[in-house]
Amino acid sequence: MENCKPIGNPMAPGTKIGTDPSGKAVDVRTYRGMIGSLMYLTSSRPDIMFSTCLCARYQANRKESHMSVVKRIFRYLKGTTDLGLWYPKDTIFELTAYSDADHAGCMLDMKSTSGYIHFLGDKLVTWALKKQLCVSTSTAEAEYVAAASCYSQVLWMRTQLRDFGYHYNSIPIYCDSKSAIAISANPVQHTKTKHIDVRYHFIKDNVEKGTIELYFVKTEYQLADLFTKPLDEKRFTFLVSRLGMLNLKT
């Protein structure tokens, strides 16, 4: 791939990856080796997190169609070798988070994908995406489950930072679903939310206690959108820059 043609985003918008039962199988060692290298790189390159994790789901039954998607990630990396996270000093140190979900985005089992990121000031410190354990019956439920997972990480970070003398309350979590925010603020479990797993409802208690606050953010400014779906090059580049990733040689 050293002589490949660079490309502007790791995955084309609208890309759907399935099992491809009629496709030609590829060498397992080659595919898993490429995925392993990319997974290692995601510790410093959040921009390839979604595409890499999506391709990693098919390691047991990898086909040529999956390999072509993996090669596109390497083509993107070829043109962005100098891109990295930048952590400026002497900036604010407030804890904020963004949470997003792609409803029924997995073609294997129709489960949704949660994506969330956390900032200390304007410095990106954690990022993650995970396929949800349950099948969400609506977009609001998927967003609500993603917000609960996001808050679990916020709670851990809040506890750790307290040991260093930083005390946080009313921690903002930005979500682009007004319905999910309404569920978290509603003290009554009505029939439309009783089916949601009880372990995710702990976020309601912390909203009532004032530990966190859920805020609505327009989808165009939802930074966690980068971790839930393929995006066009313009939007992808915008979100990458908002994460604090810069060309470190300029």
In the predicted model, residues of the chain with pLDDT beneath 70 are 187-195, 198-199
| Helices and strands in the chain: count of H runs, count of E runs | 7, 7
As a whole number of angstroms, the distance between CA 29 and CA 72 comes to: 19
The confidence score (pLDDT) of residue 201 equals: 74
According to DSSP, the residues that pair with 98 across neighbouring strands are 117, 174
95-227 homologous superfamily = Ribonuclease H-like superfamily/Ribonuclease H (3.30.420.10)
The confidence score (pLDDT) of residue 233 equals: 95
The confidence score (pLDDT) of residue 210 equals: 87
As a whole number of angstroms, the distance between CA 198 and CA 172 comes to: 23
The ranges of the chain annotated as CATH 3.30.420.10 are 95-227
Q: What 3-state DSSP class applies to 184?
A: helix
Q: How far is CA 231 from the centre of its chain?
A: 13
The confidence score (pLDDT) of residue 147 equals: 92
As a whole number of angstroms, the distance between CA 91 and CA 84 comes to: 19
Instruction: Render pLDDT for 183-213 as a digit per residue (tens, 0 to 9).
Output: 887 755 555 566 677 667 778 888 888 889 9
The confidence score (pLDDT) of residue 198 equals: 67
As a whole number of angstroms, the distance between CA 85 and CA 75 comes to: 20
Q: What 3-state DSSP class applies to 110?
A: coil
C-beta neighbour count of 76 within 10 angstroms: 23
HEC assignment per residue over 49-74: HHHHHHHHCCCCCCEHHHHHHHHHHH
